[in-house]
Structures are given as structure tokens and as C-alpha cells.
Chains A and B, each alone.
Chain A
Amino acid sequence: MAAPLLAISNLTVQFRVDSGWVTAIDDVSLDVDAGDCVGVVGESGSGKSVTALSILGLHASATTRISSGTILYQGQDLLRARASAMRRIRGSDIAMIFQDPMSSLNPVLTIADQISETLRQHQGLTGEAARKRVVELLGLVRIPDAARRADDYPHRLSGGMRQRVMIAMAIACKPRLLIADEPTTALDVTIQAQILELLRDLRKELSMSVMLISHDLGVIAEFAQRVIVMYAGRVVEDAPVAQLFRRPVHPYTMGLIAAVPKLDSDASRLATIPGRIPSPQEVIPGCRFSPRCTLVQDGCLDAQPSMQPVGDRQSARCPPRLLALGERHG
């Protein structure tokens, strides 16, 4: 089997706070295969964005430390790569789009200026050649009247159009991997559907891998092929999308799927997960979900459970559930 395009192994990242160091993500491992579309889902503080920012080395170095782990991109460890090598990879091999397109765009530069910056940096395109490619890219992200729009400033565009510009910028150098961090969260639902459709088409046209980060299980179900579920800084489940929704293994995944309000049900009371999301500073012995878990057992508080495989291509961090499932199958 071919090595994955991106392999994150046992990544632990800590941030400095007044009282010392807190662990933002702990022992995170995940793979992105070439052409794959991996969804990372979780609530606030689950560590989804911290994981993504680590891939591109975008953390503030003074207040962040990578305590352990490796991030292999085509065999090269990005955590130990030189700054110049990272600059070549960032925006060219691996590109990223963020939630809020307005704060990602420079308000005093035209769309064309901003997209051509990437083209100049990575491909040495200038002048007419760059201009031609900008218009081509704007057409690729389905911006109508691209040649005229290229000279607009960001404030002239709607939120959906701005996100299209961000995507144009991200795909300018035909990246192998696109990291999309909540790309549709700030958008209205009909515009969200348009952007997801665009990303799906581009993924095929450019045969790139996508890592989609979202809090919305609906977006994940529709877009991802494989799903990583994160909770309080740890990966708790990793499964192909159909399997995850059909047979969620981790109690948190089960609770999360149940808590999503359903569009096709008249039931008014929603299933809830009791308690609240812990802050990173909170010390919780053993499994970090145990205080909220309805299936908690004595052993859950003893040690941090490890990720264990269950069936084909699925794994979860919950020994009691794995044991129960194993018995049912065996």
C-alpha cells in the first residue's frame, strides 16, 4: 500500500498560559491519502484547528511547543523542516482556507493583486501572464464576469464571492492538499451548499486531497469520505463516513450524532449530552469524556485509553465499547 500523502503521528501541542503550559491537542494521529477527503469534526476546544495549523507551522512559536509527534508530508517531517522549505510548501503544495473570508483578504488590494501575489511567489508569474491566470482562476471558482471582478476590492463582494476568491487563491498553485477550516460556517445555507459543491468539483478537477474541518455533522456527512472525531484535544474515533453514521463506536460520537436536530423529524425534545465541554486546563483522569459519558465504568478513570481498531478501517478510543462490540460480533 502506498504511503499516505500526509501522516500525523502522536502529535501533542501545548500553549503557554499564565499558569504554565496547557495541552491543546494530545496524541493526535491521522492520515490523509492522495485524493482522499478527510473530515475532522468536533466542538469548540476539540483541537481541530490546532491540528490544522500545526500542519502548516502557523502557530506563534513563542507561546507554542510541539511536545511530541511527527507530521510527514510525502515522507518529509514538516515539524523539522527549515523555514525556507516550509515557505515553499505553504500555499503551493498545501493550501488553506479559513472561516472568515473578510478577515483573510486585504481590504486595500484588489482581488487580482492578492491572487497574483501567490502566483508571483510560487510560480514567478507576473504582468499579463499573471493577469490571465487570475481571470482563469476566478472562472474556475465560478465567479461570473471574472475579467471585470478581478479589479474589484473585497468589500464589493458578498460573503460567498469572497470565499470563492479565497478558494481561487488556495488552488492557484494546484496544491496536493487543501485544508479547509470551517469554510462555510460564516455563510448562509444556500451559499454554503454552493461552496460545498464547488469544493467537491474542484477536488475532482484538480485531483487534490481535502481536509475539511467542521463542527457541522451535516457538512461532514455530505463532503467527507473518512471522518476523524475529536473531543477535548484527542481523536476519539476514526472511520469511513458511512460506517461512522451507521455504527458510531465512541459514546461521544453516538451522543453527537443523536444531538443534531433532524430536519425530517417532528420530535421536539432533542437528545442531549449531559454536562459541558471541559476547558483545556481541567485535569480529568483517564478518558476525558468520562464525566459526561453514560456508559462510564470504573476502568475509564484509570488511564487514558488508546485508539484501538474495531472492524474494517474504523478505530476508537473506548475500550468498554470495543469490548462490548467484540463480544456481540464474536
Chain B
Amino acid sequence: MKWLGALLFLGACSWGGFEWSRKFSKRPQHIRQLKNALQILEAEILYSQLPLQEAFLTISKQTPKPTRTFFYFLSEQMKDKNKDLIEIWEDAVHEFMEISYIGPNEREILYQFGKTLGQHDFTQQQKHIQLTINHLERELQDARDDDHKYGKMAKSLGFLSGLFIVLLLI
């Protein structure tokens, strides 16, 4: 019985550690998805010249999970004509924060980007998209560094702290 409890405790702590390290490994992935989505958005605006709502729908069809939900939410909300795009965008970013692992820096970048959407002509809009992609690229580098630095540490610390507490209580 004692050993069963010890094993359970150890498993729980290791799991916590893995969950912690997942936060580091998922963040670059999600930032990269956002970058790809913005590139698609740029193409849709410049070449297909779709309105934003349809562009968002197209993006949501082409990107994987958390980003897909984000853009699908946007395009659904934009069907309601009474709402402002900026409000919708902020709601969507808020939702996106819940389901993905992006950090506060990326949130600020997205907020800033949302303010520029639909305000300018093609070339200005393209410049803003490029700027946002550059910002995201920088964040992506940071996130990768963090992953290299802290990813393994989180896993081993979770396991070791579990072992430590088990030894203390035994």
C-alpha cells in the first residue's frame, strides 16, 4: 500500500514536470502556426483580394488546431455586422490565449496587429503584416531558446521533486 502511494505520487509529480515542459515546447510551435497564418492572410489580401471574413475562413481551413479555432472564431463573429472588428479581434485573442500556449508578448503583438487590420490600403497592410511576422519571428527565437534551456530541466525537476518528497515521507 505504501509503495503504491509512493508510485502514484512519483507519477503525479513527473506528470506535472512533463506538463510544465510542454508549455515550453508548444510555444514555438504555436508561434510558428501564427506566422504561417499571417503569411496566408497576406497572400489572401494581396492576390485573392478576399474580404477579411472570407480570408479568415480560408486560413482556418489551412492551419492546424489552435490557430484554426482562432480564425474560425473570427470569421464566425464577423458575420454579426453590428460588432467592431477590433472588439472581435480582442475577444478572439483572449480565447486564443486560453487554448494555446502563447505568452503575453505574443498577445500584445496580436493586439497591435488587430488595430491595423482593415484600416489601410494594400501596401500599408502588407507592411503591417510583415512587421508582425518579424515581431513573431523574434518571439519564436526566444521561445526556441527557452525550450532548449528549460524544457529538459522542467522534466527532470518534476521527476526529482517527486522522488524527493517520496523519500521524505517514507
Q: Do A and B bind each other?
A: no
- Point out residues on B near A: beta carbons under 8 Å: none
